[in-house]
Amino acid sequence: MSTYSIKPALLQVHSVIGLAISLVVAVVGMSGAMMSFEDEIGASLNAGIMRVEARSTPMLTPDALVARLQAAQDLGKVSAVTMTSDPSAAVRIRFARNEGGSRPSSVYVDPYDGRLLGSPRGEDFFVTLRKLHRWLLLPGDGNGYGRPINGAVTIGLIVLLISGIVLRWPRRAGSVKIWLKPNLALHGRGFHRSLHSVVGTWVLVAYLVMGLSGLWYSFDWFKDGATWLLSRPPVAAASMQAKTQPKMQPKSPKGTAATDTAPIALDRVWSTFLHERDGRFTTALLTLPAGTGTVVRIRARAPDASQDAARDEFRIDAVTGRLVSAEIYADKSAGEKILVRMFDIHRGSIFGGWPGKLVFMLAAALMPLFVVTGLLLYLSRRKHRRASPPALGSLVPGE
């Protein structure tokens, strides 16, 4: 069967899927573009509270920082603390959700005296934008309907990309001009088609990367499959075992009740971490357990790390100070490095840092263009279908 014999059916599939997911694609694309430089925007907006004057006095430990903050203003249960080795950088403290389900804004504190510096501007805006991008602002957030809907739309986008490249495959496939240069001399339907197909070719690779990496966040079966495919067998098996373990831990044997009920001591965690790293780090994010557990996760970047996301991960028991596990980025296989950097792949920063993010931002911002031109082409086909049915060779005129 020739390519041209399947084009009418493929065009119908392309059109129906495009119409069905167009609105969500536009929303997800624009929200993603707006979040591309969130870190840089936040740093610019909050430079006054993110930096402090470096002093000769030693910095406070995590427990001391939290204690002084809560003594001055109790903002709720602390969920994460970001420490840094930079003597001029403030410490960021995040909080868990309260009984009403809302989460207080994070705050920056002075690492030398625990003084409250303020909450970052723009944080609430980006939190809402992130919920829109990931879950379409539907109830339940990651546990609601927004996550699978977004995943289904992402699969539809991948189908559109594949069918679109087949539909526009030119007779002279070796001509770079046909592939990459839109015909700006055309008007009406011809111009819309040229713009839709050529610009679609420009962003094809970026959209495929965004789509495939986006499925990682939408479907557990995709995440499990990618882990099995890219991880070494022992690592993949450990990941699956961790997911299947029951949430309720078995009761401790007699004599260990004191350990179970002991308060979490971040200073013990911090001391163990500094010992493991010989005090060498640039930033370290301490994430406290959400439930009744006692294991604190630390994601740290080494001073010699060439990439921001090249982080080592430690899990340390906050009651005993025992190192539970350590995952060093440099020791991971190439596939495992891909897995831990999935977010950077999704936003393009893995491709050269900010230039890659800029390319992906522009590509995401172009998604509404395909919605508009696709809709115009669909309406034009419906208008002219009965009067003059298009020949197979005129589906993509001029190619």
Q: Please check whether residues 65 and 187 belong to one and the same domain.
A: no
Residue 321 lies in a domain: no
Residue 239 lies in a domain: no
Q: Please check whether residues 83 and 102 belong to one and the same domain.
A: yes
| Confidence (pLDDT) at 313 | 94
Question: Which one has a higher pLDDT value, 33 or 177?
Answer: 33
Residue 266 lies in a domain: no
- Please tell me what DSSP assigns to residue 307: S
Residue 11 lies in a domain: yes
Q: Please check whether residues 197 and 61 belong to one and the same domain.
A: no
Burial class (CB in 10 A: 0-12, 13-18, 19+), 146: buried
Residue 80 lies in a domain: yes
| Confidence (pLDDT) at 254 | 46
State the total domains in the chain.
Answer: 2
Residue 23 lies in a domain: yes
Cα–Cα distance, 15 to 18 (Å, whole number):
5
Q: Please check whether residues 111 and 179 belong to one and the same domain.
A: no
| Confidence (pLDDT) at 250 | 40
Residue 269 lies in a domain: no
| Confidence (pLDDT) at 186 | 85
What three-state secondary structure class fits 95? strand
Both structure tokens of 310: 């090249």
Average pLDDT, whole number, for the chain? 86
Cα–Cα distance, 175 to 181 (Å, whole number):
10
Q: How many angstroms separate the Cα of 79 from the Cα of each of 13, 93, 128? A: 47, 8, 19
| Model pTM score | 0.84
Both structure tokens of 183: 């015909």
Cα–Cα distance, 213 to 222 (Å, whole number):
10
| Confidence (pLDDT) at 4 | 57
Arithmetic mean of pLDDT, 91-102:
86
Arithmetic mean of pLDDT, 375-382:
89
Residue 354 lies in a domain: yes
Whether the Cβ atoms of residue 69 and residue 93 lie closer than 8 Å to each other: yes
Phi, psi angle pair for 78, to nearest 5°: -75, 135
Question: Which one has a higher pLDDT value, 281 or 384?
Answer: 281
Instruction: Name beta bridge partners: 95.
Output: 78
Q: Please check whether residues 90 and 224 belong to one and the same domain.
A: no
Range of the domain at 382: 1-44+145-231+333-388
Q: Please check whether residues 101 and 220 belong to one and the same domain.
A: no
What is the chain's alpha carbon radius of gyration, rounded to the nearest angstrom?
A: 26
Both structure tokens of 166: 């087949």
| Confidence (pLDDT) at 264 | 81
Q: Please check whether residues 90 and 218 belong to one and the same domain.
A: no
- Dihedral, 9, 15, 20, 24 alpha carbons, nearest 10: 130
| Confidence (pLDDT) at 255 | 46
Q: Please check whether residues 104 and 172 belong to one and the same domain.
A: no
Arithmetic mean of pLDDT, 374-381:
90
State the CATH number of the domain containing residue 68.
3.10.450
